[in-house]
Amino acid sequence: MKIALCVKQVPDTTDIRWTENNTIQREGVESVINPYDVYACEFALKLKEKLSNNAEITVFTMAPPQGEDMLRKVMALGCDNAVLISDRKFSGADTYATGLTISTAIKKMLPDFDLIVCGQFAVDGDTAQTGPSIANFLDIPQVTYVTDFTDFGEKTLTLNRVMEDGIETVETELPALVCVMTQSFEPKRPLIGGIIEASKKDVKICTLADLGLEPEKVGLRGSPTYVSRAFRNISTHNAEKFKLGVRESVDLLKERLNL
């Protein structure tokens, strides 16, 4: 089985910076792997183990050159190959342009894939649109809100997915795309042997020229989404200031009510 694992670098949420186009700045900012993608990686590795290692995992990410470090960390966990989709013309892409770019890279670098695994959300955007967008461009089935797989066949995969009123078990034909939720268990950590092995592997680079896409269809130019304003959520990123504001409001209310 050939598995394409899609992961994303997200900025440290305590150090978010905005570009002049109100998109998140990626270059020169400390980044970490998206938490949902950690569990997507765990899902792919678990499936590989169940297949008695008769599977190959290729990790894809669309990122600036610094994304290579993250790819090596993921390979250190047991993934086999890595592809860095990187070009300045890709910057500023929304989920539509990102889906087009990544799906094109998968078709070029892993045309005979059986399964694509993504995280359900990215914590820097929280739209849950990129995975389904990739599936749409590749015209393959998609299963979202996945927690685990329960069975697999030569051309099928049986999955559990979270619903509002419980857990649903579904079977999908392959090739397909799944979007994975976070779990309650602690994901694996790379061992020193895996780190050494990953440092010796090549990371393939895909540029705009490699993918053969028109510049008007990628990055900011290819994105139909327009961000009119961007701001930091005070309740999440300025928690202490928010608490102070609440206390001041309570004191003022007591004063007005003569309490």
The larger pLDDT score, comparing residue 226 to residue 153, is at 153
Q: Tell me the pLDDT of the chain averaged across its residues.
A: 85
Give the integer Cα–Cα distance in Å for 3 and 156.
14
26, pLDDT greater than 70: no
What pLDDT is stored for residue 257 in this prediction? Answer: 60
Q: Between residues 256 and 178, which one has the greater pLDDT?
A: 178
Average pLDDT, stretch 110-138?
93
State residue 160 phi and psi, 5-degree precision: -100, 135
* Residues 6+ positions from 82 with CB-CB distance below 8 Å: 58, 59, 60, 61, 68, 71, 72, 74, 75, 201, 203, 204
CA dist., res. 21 & res. 19, Å (int): 5
pLDDT single digits (tens) 163-194: 989 999 999 999 999 999 998 878 888 888 99
pLDDT of residue 235: 46
Average pLDDT over residues 32-40: 92
User: Among the residues of 23-94, which ranges form H helices?
Assistant: 35-50, 67-75
Domain boundaries of the chain, sorted by first residue: 2-228, 230-259
Which is higher by pLDDT, 135 or 256?
Answer: 135
CB neighbours of residue 201 within 10 Å: 15
Q: Which amino acid is at 77?
A: L
Q: Residue 47 in 3-state DSSP?
A: helix
**Each residue of 132-169: pLDDT tens digit?**
999 999 999 999 999 999 999 889 999 999 998 999 99
Q: Tell me the pLDDT tens digit for each residue of 62-94.
A: 999 999 999 999 999 999 999 999 999 999 899
Mean pLDDT of 17-38: 67
What is d(CA 117, CA 27) in angstroms, rounded to the nearest whole number?
25
Distances (CA, A) of 100 to 84, 105, 108, 134, 164: 15, 9, 12, 7, 30
Q: Say what the pTM is.
A: 0.81
- For the cut 90, the answer to whether the pLDDT of residue 236 exceeds it is no
pLDDT-above-90 percentage for the chain:
64
Q: Is the pLDDT of residue 28 over 90?
A: no
Residue 178: closest CA among 130, 94, 119: 119
* Cα 213 to Cα 105: distance, rounded to the nearest angstrom: 10
Give the span between the Cα atoms of 103 and 92, in whole angstroms.
17
The token duo for 162 is 């979270």
pLDDT of residue 243: 42
For 255, other C-beta atoms within 10 Å of its C-beta total 9
Task: Report residue 230 as tokens.
Answer: 């961007």
The reply to whether CATH 3.40.50.620 applies to domain 2-228 is yes
pLDDT-derived band at 238, boundaries 50, 70, 90? very low
Residues contacting 146, CB < 8 A, separation 6+: 43, 120, 159, 160, 161, 178, 179, 180, 181
As given in the structure block, the two tokens for residue 115 are: 């399964």
Q: Is 40 left (phi over 0), alpha (psi -120 to 50) or beta?
A: alpha
